Amino acid sequence: MRFRDLLAAGAAATFLATPATAQDEPKHGGILTHVVEAETNTYDCHASGTSFTIQAVAPNYSTLLRFNPKNYDEVIGDLAESWDVSDDGLVWTFKLHDGVTFHDGSTFDAEDMKATWEKIVNPPEGIVSVRQARYSNIENIEVLDPLTIRFTLSEYNSAMETLFASPWNCVYSAEDLAKDPNFYATHVNGTGPFKFVEHVPGSHWKTVRFDDYFREGLPYLDGIDVTFLRGPGVITALAGGQVMGTFFLIAPQDAARVKDARGDDVVVQDADNYIINLLDVNTKKPPFDDPRVRKALNLAIDRKEGSQVLPKITILRGYGTMLPPGSEYALPESEFEKLPGLYPSIEESRAEARRLLEEAGVPNLKFTLLNRSLRHPWEPLGIFLADQFRKTGIEVEIQSVDTGTYFSMLNSGNYDVALDFNNTTTSLPAEVLSKYLPGNPSDYTFQGEDPEMTELYNKIVRSRDDAEIKELSAEFQRRVFETNAIIPMFWSFRPVVLDARVKGWKVAPSTVINLDMAEVWLDD
């Protein structure tokens, strides 16, 4: 399919955002049914890079801290009842809730928290911790007593509180991990509000209320049934009322279609989204080991055109650099428009791309674009990019695969160029920019170590001076555009469609938070 055909198909769509209704008194009971568009390739939060993992497992687990579902960006305790931080920001001491139990009936204590974080920070050989680099400053984890744990940092981290609140840091049983460090790749045993019942691949994920959940009176629901659907089946199920919604996101035209079908029986919430879509270029494979070729790919993409047409057919809107548009740490428009792919004249940009390819000896470049077989934004964006490259004389074949195969190919380096993403919980540079750090576990470009870039990132993390953080972040972003191994493209937004009976849930600019469903309830 050519991009113009895809655009024509979505041109008539209209998106209507409806604010969430006022909350009444919560009620107990009922089964929440919702859709997840892809199945996780592992149950282990620590090893996963896709939000589809969190959508399934979040109700089963607790974390140390969490984001306040009613006031996003505020960090509150989860398993931590309270905490203290030393004046230098290097020592974090957490008092844990008493009386917490795992779903298997065993008692939770500080040893479980320690074992969890040791797995994240210092995973055993053969165990994947994809965010290990973000916690490299955790020098020591010490159990002071059964309900007190202390983290000592080697270096100050300006985003440490939000990092402790990450939903990816699911808390596991020390006993389970001692028996098998890879236990949680295939098993579920948490302290969250809902207890795992079964996962039937290709069908559903089922949980029930955990009656011994430590937060008194919660959860309200009797259980959660997740249905795995993809493609048009998602919209059909939403429009027909077979499920109560999706907590991920759907395209504006699809949200409008559901709204037209069900009227006031559904509510559409909308928020900016901390997800940016990227191109990963495999620097191990010729000719992509040549920086001229990578720069040519960047130059070929008309982001201004994309920001105008993509919102009509998918969940993308806005472009910029690595930090969300409007962020005080993002490069100003006056500067990023001078970067590759953002030149005022797209024709000049593409002419320079063709010159670079000629100079690199690949004037008739052909490659395969690895993509995920998901409707939004993956498939429309893939078609858009293939069209963009064609206009520069680059021939592209799109290879769309399921989520498990996709991550397997990324990790093994079995690809030319791949669509990728950065999904964060905040807009803080210390968290967002770690994705672009060469050599980190989620850098699939195989650039190898870059000591100068690493030092630059470390300075961002350690700084307490906001002006300095802005300056360092700008320098880091420029460096990413110099290497062109990871190519930032378009930011997304987040339309969420829910049955009007679903109460107690508020959309946030991250697809991986506020998904434990403990405070969600169903109205009659």
Instruction: Give 188-236 pLDDT, tens digit per residue.
Output: 999 999 999 999 999 999 999 999 999 999 999 999 999 999 878 899 9
Each residue's pLDDT tens digit, 439-484 = 777 788 988 888 889 899 989 988 989 999 999 999 998 888 888 9
- 18 assigned to some structural domain: no
Kindly state whether residues 456 and 318 are assigned to the same domain: yes
Contact assessment for residue 496 and residue 460, using Cβ atoms and an 8 Å cutoff? no
- 8 assigned to some structural domain: no
The arithmetic mean of pLDDT across residues 178-195, rounded, is 97
Kindly state whether residues 309 and 409 are assigned to the same domain: yes
Contact assessment for residue 266 and residue 497, using Cβ atoms and an 8 Å cutoff? yes
- 34 assigned to some structural domain: no
Average pLDDT, the chain: 90
- 243 assigned to some structural domain: no
Q: Report pLDDT for 13.
A: 41
Q: Is residue 333 scored above 90 in pLDDT?
A: no
Residue 385's CATH number: 3.10.105.10
Contact assessment for residue 491 and residue 324, using Cβ atoms and an 8 Å cutoff? yes
Residue 139's CATH number: 3.90.76.10
Q: Report pLDDT for 23.
A: 52
For the entire predicted model, the pTM comes to 0.76
Q: How far apart are CA 232 and CA 214, in angstroms?
A: 39
When divided into structural domains, the chain yields a total of 2
Kindly state whether residues 430 and 294 are assigned to the same domain: yes
Please give the residue range of the domain that contains residue 393. 273-493
- 524 assigned to some structural domain: no
Q: Is residue 10 scored above 80 in pLDDT?
A: no
Kindly state whether residues 180 and 303 are assigned to the same domain: no
Kindly state whether residues 315 and 432 are assigned to the same domain: yes
Query: What is the number of other CB atoms lying within 10 angstroms of the CB of residue 107?
Result: 12
The arithmetic mean of pLDDT across residues 313-336, rounded, is 80
Q: Report pLDDT for 16.
A: 42
- 229 assigned to some structural domain: no
- 332 assigned to some structural domain: yes
Kindly state whether residues 294 and 182 are assigned to the same domain: no
- 505 assigned to some structural domain: no
Contact assessment for residue 47 and residue 130, using Cβ atoms and an 8 Å cutoff? yes
Q: Is residue 376 scored above 50 in pLDDT?
A: yes
Supply φ then ψ for residue 153, to 5 degrees.
Answer: -100, 145
End position of a domain, from candidates 189, 213, 239: 189
Each residue's pLDDT tens digit, 312-322 = 888 887 787 78
Name residue, tokens 């052909």.
366
Kindly state whether residues 340 and 465 are assigned to the same domain: yes
Q: How far apart are CA 504 and CA 494, in angstroms?
A: 18
**More reliable by pLDDT, 513 or 11:** 513
